[in-house]
């Protein structure tokens, strides 16, 4: 039986977190191997990366206020011009920090 | 000329996608852009772990075998010194919720990686992080197919993340006011840098707009991190059922 009172509770919690996390990481990949790849499923999968990015970026940026969407816009424009992540990230951070400094 | 499409004698496995060292190196180099962000999150997680009474060993162990920044932070908020089974289930539950997006991330890699032997794919998938997924999807959108890229970026960022919590744990709060430097926005900013060329190349604007709109609405209406999964599924459905362009 699991002995939680002898100071091992944290380790059991970490073990539970690990099991759950690995299940999510391999689960989706595994599941797709069990279904035939129909044209509709294939188009959905091809759209999935862009959808995951959008579903992460848009709420986080909008809820952060002007600093969020100004930063995201600066990253996108810099990326289109330079095509280098590091410059785009720097531009976005500077722009967002500047907007915050101006008090928005 | 792209080195990832060359058939050469370094392909050691009988698969239809290559696994070469140049691609591993390329994956590591492409992932370097994510290291500053991982260090910032690592410092935050390390600081929180120290505050919650984890030993340095426990903190590094958690980062190494869980390796999911947001999930670790939320779970640490629930951390206790008086463990019960209910408490452990609660920690596992929030971890599952925050990490549910990985079900979709993993699924999105299937079309690329399925020719690869399962014994190679699953161990690497087990330590997948957002940065490695993003870099790999970008590589794939640019025409890359080499398993080495996925392997290199995933393993490298896993190791980087494992060690990233150490400075934060030892130094307390490395960054006193992350908001002043906009470091709380590093995830949306870095994701924007990654998705911009992907969008330009693949043209999945409909999926992007639908996913963003639905996710924002969900984030206003629902607690927690479900908005990522709900928005992503809506966007993928829009992409699946939209009329196919000629």
The answer on B18 and B109 residing in a single domain is: yes
The whole domain housing B235 covers 203-246
User: Rounded mean pLDDT of chain A?
Assistant: 88
Could you tell me the pLDDT band of residue B223, with boundaries at 50, 70 and 90?
A: confident
Position A89 scores a pLDDT of 85
* Phi and psi at residue A3, to the nearest 5°: -100, 105
> How much is the average pLDDT of B33-57?
82
Please check whether residue B126 lies inside any domain of the structure: yes
Interface of B with A in 72-91 (CB under 8 A): 72, 75, 79-85, 87-89, 91
Please check whether residue B198 lies inside any domain of the structure: no
The answer on B95 and B54 residing in a single domain is: yes
In total, how many domains does chain B have? Answer: 2
The answer on B130 and B94 residing in a single domain is: yes
pLDDT over 90 percentage in chain A? 56
The answer on B238 and B171 residing in a single domain is: no
Q: Is the pLDDT of residue A104 over 80?
A: no
The answer on B239 and B145 residing in a single domain is: no
Please check whether residue B191 lies inside any domain of the structure: no
| Number of cross-chain residue pairs from A and B with Cβ atoms under 8 Å apart | 306
**What pLDDT, in 10s, does the model give residues B64-105?**
988 887 788 778 877 888 888 888 888 888 788 778 889 989
Provide CB contacts within 8 A for B176, sequence distance 6+.
Answer: none
Q: Is the pLDDT of residue B13 over 50?
A: no
Please check whether residue B192 lies inside any domain of the structure: no
Rounded Cα distance, B111 and A32, in Å: 9
Please check whether residue B196 lies inside any domain of the structure: no
User: Rounded mean pLDDT of chain B?
Assistant: 84
Cβ-contact B230, B218 below 8 angstroms: yes
Position B228 scores a pLDDT of 83
Please check whether residue B223 lies inside any domain of the structure: yes
The answer on B93 and B54 residing in a single domain is: yes
The answer on B9 and B85 residing in a single domain is: yes
* Phi and psi at residue B80, to the nearest 5°: -145, 165
Please check whether residue B72 lies inside any domain of the structure: yes
Position A75 scores a pLDDT of 95
Flag if B113 and A83 touch (Cβ within 8 Å): no
Q: Is the pLDDT of residue B5 over 60?
A: no
pTM equals: 0.77
The answer to whether B48 faces chain A, any CB pair under 8 Å, is no
Flag if B241 and A40 touch (Cβ within 8 Å): yes
Could you tell me the pLDDT band of residue B45, with boundaries at 50, 70 and 90?
A: confident
The answer on B213 and B171 residing in a single domain is: no
Cβ-contact B190, A87 below 8 angstroms: no
The answer on B180 and B209 residing in a single domain is: no
**What pLDDT, in 10s, does the model give residues A10-58?**
899 999 999 999 999 999 999 988 887 788 888 888 888 899 889 989 9
Please check whether residue B176 lies inside any domain of the structure: yes
The minimum CA-CA distance between A51 and chain B, rounded to whole Å, is 5
Position B210 scores a pLDDT of 97
The answer on B229 and B170 residing in a single domain is: no
Flag if A27 and B89 touch (Cβ within 8 Å): no
Cβ-contact B66, B42 below 8 angstroms: no
Rounded Cα distance, B57 and B79, in Å: 16
The answer on B140 and B31 residing in a single domain is: yes
Rounded Cα distance, B148 and B3, in Å: 12
**What pLDDT, in 10s, does the model give residues B126-149?**
999 988 999 999 999 999 999 999
Which of B139, B159, B186 marks a domain boundary?
B186
The answer on B172 and B211 residing in a single domain is: no
Say which residue, B173 or B195, is predicted with more confidence: B195
């Amino acid at each position: 039986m699991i002995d939680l009172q002898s100071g091992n509770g944290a380790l059991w919690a970490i073990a539970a977190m690990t099991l759950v996390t690995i299940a999510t990481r391999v689960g989706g990949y595994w599941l797709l191997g069990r279904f035939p790849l129909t044209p509709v499923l294939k188009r959905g999968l091809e759209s999935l990366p862009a959808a995951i990015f959008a579903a992460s970026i848009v709420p986080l940026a909008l809820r952060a206020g002007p600093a969020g969407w100004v930063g995201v816009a600066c990253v996108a424009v810099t990326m289109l011009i330079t095509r280098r992540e590091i410059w785009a990230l720097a531009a976005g951070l500077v722009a967002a920090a500047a907007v915050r400094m101006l008090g928005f | 000329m792209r080195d990832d499409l060359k058939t050469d004698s370094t392909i050691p496995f009988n698969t239809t996608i290559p696994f070469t060292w140049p691609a591993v190196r390329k994956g590591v180099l492409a992932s370097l852009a994510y290291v500053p962000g991982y260090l910032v999150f690592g410092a935050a997680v390390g600081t929180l772990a120290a505050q919650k009474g984890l030993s340095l060993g426990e903190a590094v162990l958690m980062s190494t075998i869980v390796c999911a920044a947001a999930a670790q932070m939320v779970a640490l908020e629930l951390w206790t010194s008086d463990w019960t089974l209910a408490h452990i289930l609660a920690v596992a539950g929030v971890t599952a919720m925050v990490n549910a997006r990985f079900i979709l991330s993993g699924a999105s890699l299937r079309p690329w990686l399925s020719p690869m032997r399962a014994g190679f794919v699953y161990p690497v998938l087990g330590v997948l992080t957002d940065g490695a997924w993003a870099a790999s999807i970008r590589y794939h959108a640019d025409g890359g197919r080499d398993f080495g890229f996925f392997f290199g970026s995933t393993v490298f960022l896993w190791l980087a993340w494992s060690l990233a919590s150490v400075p934060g744990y030892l130094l307390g709060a490395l960054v006193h006011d992350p908001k002043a430097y906009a470091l709380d926005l590093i995830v949306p900013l870095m994701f924007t840098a990654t998705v911009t060329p992907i969008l330009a190349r693949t043209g999945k604007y409909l999926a992007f707009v639908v996913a963003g709109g639905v996710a924002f609405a969900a984030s206003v209406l629902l607690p927690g991190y479900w908005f990522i999964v709900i928005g992503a599924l809506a966007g993928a459905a829009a992409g699946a059922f939209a009329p196919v362009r000629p």
